[in-house]
Amino acid sequence: MRLLLVNDDGINGEGILTLARELEKEHDIIIVAPEDQRSATSHSITLRQPIIVRRVHIKDIKSKSYSISGSPADCVRVALDKILDEPVDMVISGINMGLNLGMDVLYSGTVSAAIEANIYDIPSLAISAELKDDKCNFDIAVKYVKWFLDKANHRFLNSKTVININTPCIGEDEIKGIKVCRIGEGIYDYYFVEDEKDEEMSLIISGRRRNESEKDTDRYYLKEGYVTITPLQYDFTNFKLIEEVKSWL
């Protein structure tokens, strides 16, 4: 297959390079990634300044690679509009250093890049690996990307679907299986006052408001040792309420 690889950890991110080295053995790939770290930029795009595109050469990577000065969503837009000379079969975003579960998908640059591909009617995959003690098991994530590509028959490639995959940071023999499931509930970050003086305060994110997870969600199954898969969509319309809202008006 012809694949576009993007991410939000930057062109030198360990995850995307690990994935590229493995996938280019069997697939035709091109890499377009931010020039630096752009995590948690959600679906932002660059509007009021130029986007700088640079051809880069990465050790041990033979595929064409480009860095851009924009966001993860910009990477997809620029690649499809200006860099690629022929269509791609699929866009893969990641491997992200850290999970994208539950409501975090709204903040994730990784997931947003995959959704941007969907807006262009291209099927996409967002892949994220759990970060534990400053380490990620990218090899596990690569394994399940390859597994998914082997399963990606014409039904997926013609479906314009966004798939979000998360892998736990455990040994391969410890993984219990794969769960296709819904995203979990919101677990909100809370802020710690680092400094306060006069009429100004400095805040930093200190942790999570709560850690428990509802069953049958990506958060729950990941914690239990499963690889999670969730189909996503960018259309936020609540179709069930359309007629009711009409009646209000």
pLDDT digits (tens, 9 = 90+) for 193-204: 777 777 888 888
Residue 211: pLDDT band (50, 70, 90) is low
Report the pLDDT value the prediction gives residue 1, as an integer from 0 to 100: 92
Residue pair 189/205 in contact by the 8 Å Cβ criterion: yes
> Residue 107 and residue 166: Cα distance in Å, rounded?
15
3-class SS of residue 126 = strand
Give the helix/strand (H/E) hosting 16.
helix 14-23
- The tens digit of pLDDT for each residue in 102-138 reads 989 999 999 999 999 999 999 999 999 999 999 999 9
Residue pair 96/9 in contact by the 8 Å Cβ criterion: yes
Residue 207: inside a domain: no
> Residue 219 and residue 244: Cα distance in Å, rounded?
32
- The tens digit of pLDDT for each residue in 24-42 reads 999 999 999 999 999 999 9
Q: How many domains does the chain have?
A: 1
Residue 190 β-bridge partners: 207
Of 163-177, 193-207, 215-229, least confident by mean pLDDT is 193-207
4-25 burial, b for 16+ CB within 10 Å, e for fewer?
bbbbbbbbebebbbbbbebbbe
3-state helix, strand, coil in the chain (%, to 5): 30, 30, 40
- For the entire predicted model, the pTM comes to 0.92
Residue 195: inside a domain: no
The total of other beta-carbon atoms located within 10 Å of residue 229's CB is 18
Residue 231: inside a domain: yes
Report the pLDDT value the prediction gives residue 179, as an integer from 0 to 100: 97
Residue 232: inside a domain: yes
Identify the residue whose tokens are 């930057």: 10
Residue 189: inside a domain: no
**The domain spanning residue 153 has which CATH number?**
3.40.1210.10
The alpha carbons of the chain give a radius of gyration, in whole angstroms, of 19
Residue 191: inside a domain: no
Sequence-separated (6 or more) residues with CB below 8 Å from residue 24: 61, 62, 63
Residue 201: inside a domain: no
Domain that holds residue 21: 2-182+215-237
